[in-house]
Amino acid sequence: MSKKNRERRTGEPGAASSEPGGAGVGFNWVPAVLAVVALGFGFMAWTDAKKFKDDIGRRLADLDGRVLQVQKDVANAAKSKPAPQQGPDPNKVYTVRTEGSPAKGNATAPIVIAEFSDYQ
């Protein structure tokens, strides 16, 4: 900038003055406003995160309580009465008639294994 332009601008209102603390020194509000807005958004995000954390903690505590209740119910059901046995008694010896059935091996063997199968 030329000397002439500098001299002309020193008289304008709002122009920067070379004098310390002079009337021409202005304050730029844009960075200050942006900083305040950023702090506001930061505070809002922090409070939302805190609410979210508290909500998640409450839900997890509720789920833990439910899991413990289900475990107690299952333990009580197992203690109360055993499930009825289905099918043949494994401790009983059953007699199976094998006369006239196809067989392999000695007919007078002391042990007979009878196999039931379905070829469909």
Instruction: Divide the 120 residues of the chain into consecutive groups of 10 and give the mean pLDDT of each group.
Output: 65 52 68 94 96 96 96 86 81 83 84 78
Query: What's the pLDDT score for residue 9?
Result: 65
44 within 8 A of 36, measured Cβ to Cβ: no
Q: How many beta carbons lie within 10 A of that of residue 9, not counting itself?
A: 14
Query: What's the pLDDT score for residue 2?
Result: 67
Query: What's the pLDDT score for residue 38?
Result: 97
Query: What's the pLDDT score for residue 1?
Result: 56
**Verdict on whether the full-model pTM lies above 0.85:** no
Angle of CA points 18, 23, 28, to nearest 5°? 85
Query: What's the pLDDT score for residue 85?
Result: 80
